[in-house]
Amino acid sequence: MAVSQTRKKKKKFHPNLSFFIFFLILMYIVILAWGYLSQDHVSIYEVNAAKLDDDTPLYGYIMRSEEVVNSEADGYINYYNAEGNRVGVGDVIYTLDTSGDVNSILKELQNNKTSTQNISAMRETIASFQNSFKLSNYSAVKDLSFNINNVIFQENNKALYNDLNKAVQKAGKSKKFKGYTAAHSGVISYSVDGREAIKEKDLTIDLLDHYGNNERKQIQSNEKIKAGSPVYKLVTSNEWYLYVKIPDSYYDSLKSLKYVRVTIEKDNTSFNAAVELLEKDGCHVAKLRTNRFMERYLNDRYLKLEFSLNSANGLKIPVSSMLEKEYYVLPSELITTDKDKKSTITKQLLDQDTISEKKVSIGTYYIVDSKYYVDSSIVKGGDILKNPSTGQDYIVSSKENLYGVYCTNQGYCQFKPVDVLYKNKEYAIVSTDTQGGLSAYDHIIVDPSTIHENDFIN
C-alpha cells in the first residue's frame, strides 16, 4: 500500500504597514541615540557666593617690651591692681607684711560676700569663654580660671590699699607694712613663662617651633614669699611683635608687601600688621609689628594665625570656565549719550570722495578704569572717530583682552567679564561688583573651548 506524504509549504513573509511603522520608530530612536552619544556635551555650572581660603595656619612667637619685677624682701604679699590694669609711675602695686599681723586687719576690711557686680562680671567672663571654647584648646580652661579669679580680685580690692594703710597705722603696725610702687607706667600681668628677656637676636627656629610646649606660671598669691621671687610683670609699650616661620610660597607673596592682614585663630580677631622678612637658621621668618590688641594677648606667648594672602570672598567659578576676549579700548571723552540714553560714538565714513559722519551705538560695552571696552563688531583698527568736545580726530588702535565667561541664562552664550580676586588650580573667586558681570545663581559654561559666543544651548 502506498503511503502518501504531504509536504507543508512555508508561508512567505509579507511585511505589513504596522511593521514598517515599528521599523521607522526604531530607526528614529537609534539615530537620536547615536546623535546624542556622538555629540560634545556642554556642562553648565551655577555660580554661587563663597569664600576660597587656601591659607595654611601658622604659629607666631610674641615678643613685647616686658619687665618682670622681683620682691625686694621676704613677707606676706597683697596686690591692689587687677591683671590687665594700666598703672602709672608711683602707683602702689603690692605691699609686704613682714610679720603676718596685717593679714587679720586685711580680712576685716575685705568683704567676702559676692556682690551683684561680681556675679554680673563673672557671667560675662563665662559667656565669653563659652562662645570661643574649642575642645582642642585645653589652655582656654586655665584662662577661664585666671579670668574669674581676676574678676573677683578686681571687685574686692578697689581702693583697698588706702583703707588698709589707715587701719595699719591706727593699729601701730606700720613698721611691719610697706607698699611698693611701679617704676614705669604700663599694663600689669601676674603671669610669667621665663621668656620675658628674650630679644630678636636670641631667636632660633627651634624656639619658633616650640609652640606646643610653653608653660606659664601664675605668680599672684597671698602667701609668704621670699626676696627675689617674681611678684608681677609690667608691659611698658603697646607695640608688640609676632615672629612667624614661613614657607617659600609665603615669602614670595610677602616680599613685596609693607603690611599684611593677620587673623588670630583663638578669637578670630583680624588686624593689619607691618611686615619685615628675616632669615634665621636658613629659614624665612616674617616679623609682624602692631600696636593693637596688646592687652588681649597679654599672657600669650604663641598664637596660631593666618595671613589673608590666599583667600577671598565673592563669586566662585571654575578656572576652566574663563576665557579671554579682545576689545578695542576707547577713551571716555569719545562717548556721548543720545536721546534714548544709548552710548554712542561719532564715526567718520568715507564713500568714494565723500566724507561723512555717523553716530553709532556702541552696543554692549564695559568700563574699566574710565576706559570703554567696545566689541570689534562696532569698531575696527584704523577707524576714525570724532571727539565731540574738541572736534579732533581719533584713530582706533588700542586693543586689550578682558577675562570673562559664557553666561547661558538667556539660552545662548553671552560673554560676561570677570574681575578675578583670587584663584587656585581649580576655582576662582571673582568680584560681585564688575559692571556687566556675574551674579549669584547665573549659569555659565564650564569649558568654553567647545562652544562659541552667541551659540544656542540645547
Q: Are 347 and 361 in contact (CB under 8 A)?
A: no
Whether pLDDT at 363 is above 90: no
Q: Is 36 helix (H, G, I), strand (E, B) or coil?
A: helix
DSSP letters spanning 177-198: EEEEE-SS-EEEE-EE-S-TT-
Residue position matching grid coordinates 621668618: 285
What ranges do the domains of the chain cover? 58-110+157-309, 317-450
Of 177 and 415, more confident = 415
The pLDDT tens digits of the residues spanning 19-49 come to: 778 878 888 888 877 766 665 668 999 999 9
pLDDT of residue 147: 54
Average pLDDT over every residue of 348-352: 79
Amino acid making up residue 368 = V
Average pLDDT over every residue of 234-262: 94
pLDDT of residue 39: 58
Q: Which residues on adjacent β-strands are paired with residue 58? A: 305
Average pLDDT over every residue of 60-82: 92
Q: Which of 49-53, 144-148, 264-268, 276-280 has the highest mean pLDDT?
A: 276-280
pLDDT of residue 135: 46
Confidence at 367, pLDDT banded by 50, 70, 90: confident
> What percentage of the chain exceeds 90 in pLDDT?
47
- Per-residue cell: 314: 565673592
The pLDDT tens digits of the residues spanning 426-455 come to: 999 999 999 889 999 999 999 999 899 999
What whole-number distance in Å separates Cα of residue 348 and Cα of residue 133?
Answer: 71
pLDDT of residue 35: 64
What whole-number distance in Å separates Cα of residue 330 and Cα of residue 327?
Answer: 9
Q: 164 in the Ramachandran plot: left (φ > 0), alpha (ψ -120 to 50) or beta?
A: alpha
What whole-number distance in Å separates Cα of residue 254 and Cα of residue 330?
Answer: 36
Confidence at 89, pLDDT banded by 50, 70, 90: very high
Phi and psi, residue 292, nearest 5°: -110, 145
Whether pLDDT at 140 is above 60: no
Average pLDDT of every residue of the chain: 83
Average pLDDT over every residue of 102-121: 54
What whole-number distance in Å separates Cα of residue 209 and Cα of residue 214?
Answer: 11
Among 386, 402, 403, which Cα is nearest to 394's?
386
Q: Which residues on adjacent β-strands are paired with residue 416? A: 405
Average pLDDT over every residue of 329-351: 87
Indicate the burial class of 247 (C-beta count within 10 angstroms; 0-12, 13-18, 19 or more).
Answer: exposed
Whether pLDDT at 133 is above 80: no
Of 381 and 147, more confident = 381
- Per-residue cell: 422: 583670587
pTM: 0.62
Sheet holding 75-79, edge to edge: 177-181, 92-97, 75-79, 224-225
Phi and psi, residue 441, nearest 5°: 75, 5
Q: Are 140 and 133 in contact (CB under 8 A)?
A: yes
What whole-number distance in Å separates Cα of residue 241 and Cα of residue 302?
Answer: 11
Q: Give CA separation, 323 vs 319, 320, 341, 458, in Å.
A: 9, 8, 31, 21
Residue position matching grid coordinates 564688575: 434
Amino acid making up residue 382 = G
Whether pLDDT at 161 is above 70: no
Among 109, 93, 114, which Cα is nearest to 167's?
109
- Per-residue cell: 249: 610660597
Among 42, 48, 39, 53, which Cα is nearest to 318's?
48
